[in-house]
Chains A and B, each alone.
Chain A
Amino acid sequence: MKIIAKDRKGKEHILEGRDGWSVMEILRDGGLDIAAECGGACACATCHVYVTDGWYEKLPEPSESELDMLDMALAVEPGRSRLSCQITCNDATDGIKVTVAPE
């Protein structure tokens, strides 16, 4: 399964997802500059990404706690913004496209 991720400089990275891992973990493991300060606890909003190319709609809806936490993210774009620690890699997300949001 693949994750196609654009970093803050606009460079595209094709990363190998791992079943059950979060997209945040794959981005971090792949060396992208993503703070993820709380380590994936949905507690800091520093793993904010834009989910693009029709993938936002394909994902399960964000939880109430994720929506709450997104209030603390910067440059939130409704219909695109997600916390990457709350997106789980699996067959259904194979090929997902994300862009790391600005700091």
Chain B
Amino acid sequence: MTAAPIETDVAIIGAGPIGLFAVFELGLLDLKCHLVDILDRPGGQCTELYPEKPIYDIPGLPIVTGQELVNKLLEQISPFNPQFHFGEMVTGLEKLADGRWKLKTDVGTQIVAHVVVIAAGAGSFQPKRPPVPGIEHFENAGDGMGVHYAVRKMETFRGKNILIAGGGDSALDWVINLAPLAKSLTLVHHRDGFRAAQHSVNQMRELEKEGKIKFHVASVKSIHGEPGKLSSVTLSGADKKEWDLNCDAFLPFFGLTIKLGPIAEFGINLHENMIPVDTARFQSETPGIFAIGDINTYPGKLKLILSGFHEAALMAQAAFHIARPNEKLRFQYTTSSSSLQKKLGVS
């Protein structure tokens, strides 16, 4: 089913700190925004990688954690009512006959906008793929079969021989949830210790004691079967001893890493995985597509949050001329403009 496209002024790819602040700068100019992010919440690297870590170089905030900064940005942009599309990855970008852009996401959302702003940091967070030769041939092998980095429907794993790798909460949660459904379930981790909630560790140990699952201090060395049909893996234990384990499904849980992802296929000029922009508008070499924050590059670029904020402000001025070609842009200060204060809901 394809829903009708959403129409808006600006589509922002990435809801990290720079994507969020772009909403503010665009909002002051009466431009409405939709944001798409592959993560399930706003904040990008700030909330995914270091929510608790203090940042010391945000102007005016001597010390602020990643999460606090994101919370403050959300508060700051709330008057502009941005629309978020979380857990979605932009997979396609096409220019329409009327000069606007149409974005498509992996779940079928379509957004038509005058301007596209790429604020994607270093790219999109994707599951880490273990360095097992040929593992990619077993991905997308179908329900309950082959290699999966997430569990969408538990039921598809019923009656299967399952191997889970990892030592964090995701690995243990799925051990606990899938054990009752599986024909057999084996957990491997490189050490006999886990970075997970204690009650999950206790439950896993209990399942092991009852013989409902097997746990080995080991790692997966190689993977076997016909392409698309996993049959076994070779495990290597702490003493380098190797043995084979038959399995239908292999679920590695090693957290997320950042890959550039589909942006590389949008037809925008890239330089070493970054988007070259001019420093007056922060527009890419494709008119109408802007890039701000860590994803862009220009002479003197510094990958700092504060630089991204500046880039967002200048981008917004240029975006206005594209989205509102017949209107005159009047620059105003939030300190003195009653119309801006009205938009912010403070006057």
Contacts and interface: CB of A to CB of B under 8 A. Distances in A.
Nearest to B54: A41
Contacts of A71: 166-168, 189-191, 194-195
B255 interface: yes
A75 B128 CA distance: 11
List 6 A-B pairs, minimum CB-CB distance, nearest first. A68-B195, A71-B167, A72-B255, A102-B131, A38-B49, A76-B190
Contacts of A59: none
Contacts, number: 59
Contacts of A75: 130-131, 219
Interface string A61-103: 0000001110111111110000000000000000000000011
Contacts of B195: 67-69, 71-72
A43 interface: yes
A77 B166 CA distance: 14
B204 to A, nearest CB: 14
20 contacts: A35-B257, A38-B45, A41-B49, A41-B50, A41-B53, A44-B255, A45-B255, A67-B193, A68-B195, A69-B195, A71-B167, A71-B168, A71-B190, A71-B191, A72-B166, A73-B254, A74-B254, A78-B190, A78-B191, A103-B257
Interface string B30-55: 00000000000000010001100100
Main secondary structure of the interface of A (DSSP, over half): loop
* Size class of the B contact interface (CB-based, 8 Å): 20 to 34
Given A37-B258, A67-B193, A74 B128 contact: yes
Nearest to B121: A37
B329 interface: no
A81 B50 CA distance: 22
Interface in B182-208: 189-191, 193-195
Contacts of A35: 257-258
